[in-house]
A and B are shown apart, each in its own frame.
Chain A
Amino acid sequence: MSSPPRSAAPLRASDDLAIVRRMVDGDADALAELYDRFAPLVLAVTRRILGGAGEAEEALQEAFLQAWNQADRYAPGRSSVSTWLLLIARTRSLDRLRSRGSRDRVAQAAAAEPPSVDTSSRVDDHVLHRERSQRVRQALAELPEEQRRVLELAFYEGLSQSEIALHTGAPLGTVKTRALLGMKKLREALRNEVRELI
């Protein structure tokens, strides 16, 4: 039915696109390849958003299920396959997070340690993403703390700008400004990465 897990392979957008096209054709092996390429990153996102391992794995399964069912909706001109898949995983995770209730989310965000980027020097198992991860972490680490915090609360917690303002105590306009500046700085610092991912 499907091939065994593959070892690390060069990360090329054309390969990813070919995988999705095979999925559209109903090639089961293509789904397995997609899983082998991106499951660790998808699981990182779902665990970062949902915390618990069990629910994070269920969100991962939902993400791949949706990718399989909706492979024909993938638009190569709008984003890379990895971005498409990761956004699906983020959305499914936030759906689960929101089902817990927005109050809980704000309370959890307040109680939790400020989410920080992983700046440890540990060696990633997945070689494919190591260099890119390092560059992204570095760019995020160079952002002012308040800007990075706004981006992380929005992306990982799914909080709206108003909720972030409520949570951080900053005026809404300030929150929006921080988010905009953070996004622009991130893009400036990672232009090459952006070109590959979009």
Chain B
Amino acid sequence: LRHLHEDPEELAALAVLDGFGRLDSPDETSVPEPGDEVEEVLRRLYTETTALLPYALAPVPPPAALRGRLLTAILGDATQAVEDLVPPLPTPARGAGGSPLRFAAERRAHAARRPRWPALLAAAAAVIGVAGLGLWARRRSVRDFSRGPGAARADRARHPHRLDRALRRPSPAVALRRGVDDPGDQAADPSRRRGGGARELRGRPLPRGLARGAGAARHRLGEAAPETAPWLVVVFEELHGRHPDGGKRKNYYVKESVGIACGLFIAALHDMGLATLTHTPRRCASSPHPRPPGEREAVHPLPRRLPGRRRDGARPRAQGPRRGGDSTAVARLPGP
């Protein structure tokens, strides 16, 4: 067989021969990759062989009834439009129990009811669209109900881009530019940096244009809560309860359950016309709000930032809270 392996075409042939069955993995053969021309030669050889082999078999006359069954099933009623048979359908299972006659009948049935779907889908889309527009129209922004004169910039200040700037000492040029184009950002300069900046800021009135809690200096619950937030929502996880006899009853999947509940709650708020969740303040445990026994503050990611990119082009960090971090959500809702 040596001569066979010296011929490049024959070598390539060995690689493509697996088309006879199914392709083997490439690492099972060391022959070179066949080119298109060689592939064509071998494809022809393969086709010729497969065309010849069936003729080695003795023909088997099919049962007489099979012809009638087949033609009836495929062609169906003489009035059935042939075009209805042609469109592709979901591929039927080809298990041992599958009957091609049944597939053909299903094909005809499907073709018969096909024209109804576009109208139904269009109607459903219209209903959903109208309902969605209604919901959208009822939504409100914090700008719509805040009493502060700078509320129009409140959620701009919450943008990650702005937040990121607030945490850095800006260059004089940047500070100068901020002072010109956005008075709300004046407060973000250096007093809003971590540590000393936050301490300096504490006790000073914040400009109306800058939402509290947007930077490193977050306000704490109970001190200087946003004036325009009529509702304060505190979520606790019930880690365990009590049996009637006083014994401890452990709850399972607490975080998952509370997370789902928070999701439903937020969806309901939005449906009611919620504008925004202004922020998720930290240190709920030390807040004046009592924490029920057996419960702890829930730590769940709540939407509190607007999408955007940081100044350096990096993607904003994940919105999930850090351990010991965000624990409650303060929601601004339309007033009564």
Binding site for B on A (CB under 8 A): 1-2, 5, 26, 28, 31-32, 35-36, 39-41, 43-45, 47-48, 55, 57-58, 60-62, 64-65, 68-69, 78-80, 82-83, 86-87, 90, 92, 95-96, 99-100, 117-118, 120, 122, 124-126, 129, 132-133, 135-137, 139-140, 151-152, 154-156, 158-164, 172-173, 176-177, 179-184, 186-187, 190, 193-194, 197-198
A35-B58 in contact (CB<8A) = no
B289 within 8 A of A: no
Complexed CA–CA distance, A187 and B75 (Å): 38
Listed stretches B59-67, B130-138, B212-220; interface member? B59-67
State the main secondary structure of chain A at its contact with B: helix
Known: A1-B75, A31-B71, A177-B4. A161 touches B52 (CB 8 A): no
B10 within 8 A of A: yes
Residue of B nearest to A179 (CB): B17
CB atoms of A47 and B18 under 8 A apart: no
CB distance from B111 to the nearest CB of A (A): 12
- Across the interface, do A161 and B17 meet the contact criterion of CB distance under 8 Å? yes
Question: With contacts A65-B103, A96-B94, A172-B29 known, what are 16 further pairs, Cβ within 8 A?
Answer: A1-B71, A35-B71, A43-B60, A43-B62, A44-B59, A61-B70, A82-B51, A118-B57, A136-B55, A151-B49, A151-B53, A155-B50, A156-B53, A177-B1, A183-B49, A198-B48
- Are B24 and A126 neighbours in the complex by a CB distance under 8 Å? no
Question: Per-residue CB proximity of B11-43 to A under 8 Å, as 1/0?
Answer: 001100110111110001100000000000000
A35 & B18 in contact (Cβ 8 Å cutoff): no
Main secondary structure of the interface of B (DSSP, over half): helix
Interface size class of B (residues with CB under 8 A): 35 or more
In the bound complex, do residue B59 and residue A64 qualify as a contact, i.e. CB atoms below 8 Å apart? no
B78 interface hit (Cβ, 8 Å): yes
B100 at the interface (CB under 8 A from A): yes
Query: Whole-angstrom distance between the alpha carbons of A5 and B53 in the complex?
Result: 26
> Which residue of chain B has its CB nearest to the CB of A159?
B21
Whether, in the assembled complex, B224 has its beta carbon less than 8 Å from a beta carbon of chain A, the answer is: no
Q: Is the CB of B100 within 8 A of A140?
A: no
Chain B residues with CB below 8 A from A60, complex form: 62, 66, 70
A140→B56 contact, CB < 8 A: yes
Q: Please determine whether B61 and A125 come into contact, CB atoms closer than 8 angstroms.
A: yes
24 inter-chain pairs at a CB distance below 8 angstroms, sorted by A residue, are: A1-B72, A1-B75, A28-B75, A35-B70, A36-B67, A39-B66, A40-B62, A44-B57, A47-B60, A62-B100, A68-B74, A68-B85, A87-B50, A95-B94, A118-B57, A137-B56, A155-B20, A156-B53, A160-B23, A161-B17, A161-B21, A177-B1, A177-B14, A198-B48
